[in-house]
Amino acid sequence: MGIDSLIGGTIWDEYSQKVTDLMNNPRNMGEITEEEAAAMGAKLIVADFGAESCGDAVRLYWAVDPKTDIIKESKFKSFGCGTAIASSDTMAELCKGKTVQEAVKITNIDVEKAMRDTPDTPSVPPQKMHCSVMAYDVIKKAAAQYMNVDMESFEEEIIVCECARVSLSTLREVIRLNDLTTVEQITDYTKAGAFCKSCIKPGGHEEKDIYLVDLLEEYEKEKMAASATLGNDGEGVEFAKMTIVQKLKAVEKVIDDNIRQMLIMDGGDMEVLDIKENGENFDIYIRYLGACNGCASADTGTLFAIENILKEKLDPNIRVLPI
């Protein structure tokens, strides 16, 4: 086997059989004329959309029943690569029989999945995912013309990853809720950055206004600012609003600064085992060590002193419970 055929085989292995078939034998390529639309009792819609990043373009034809908004016929012309032809053909097929309002909900992911041979195997290589995005965009363009609205009115949020249709608000929420620190983690959680990778950082297939690395940097700066303002141990935060880790650190600090040395002087010590919220109270479970374990005052005077200091320094609703 020659090197050219080996390389070619490797490339083609990344395309589904459906895609390769549609590249050569598209089902819906062509145009719909005014006369043909009129014969169907339909309104003709012609929409053009081009991808500046690769020079591909697609023209979509719809014959829409004005009484029901149902797309009675859908055809396309594509000016671009084979993947663009396959994606546009699949897009046109998915539009048939749907209302315009239903068709505008078809996403690029729907187009890509419809071209798969098996549900779990992508139909095209990641760098060609943008072709299905173009198919999605031309649907919005056609729907906007038919409904006489702005194309952007269909987009309610800023989309950072066009391939996986992941919005800015979703990415910010996922990053913060899961404390994500790498692009790989973002991709695992959301699929953003898994396809053409243009959304990861500048210099990719398409220029973006905001990238995944920008969101990670934004989150890191927020954490640093919060740490500088509140302190890693929660200093400056109300005890009730601290995380469990901050509560534990705050309790340990008060014990170290005000209590532990007195216990050690008498041959004893203590350790904090857990903190649990119990209604409006914060129950702090401790264990006495050394001479304090079994001491007569451990459950009376010593306990009251520990509890009173913690109440004074941290929160009046603290209760100390020895185990």
Which sequence positions are flagged as catalytic?
54, 131
What is the rounded CA–CA span in Å between residue 124 and residue 85?
A: 12
Residues 293 and 302: their CA atoms lie apart, in Å, by 11
Q: Determine contact, residues 32/19, Cβ cutoff 8 Å.
A: no
SS3 letters for 132-196?
A: HHHHHHHHHHHHHHHHCCCHHHHCCCCEEECCCCEEHHHHHHHHHHHCCCCHHHHHHHHCCCCCC
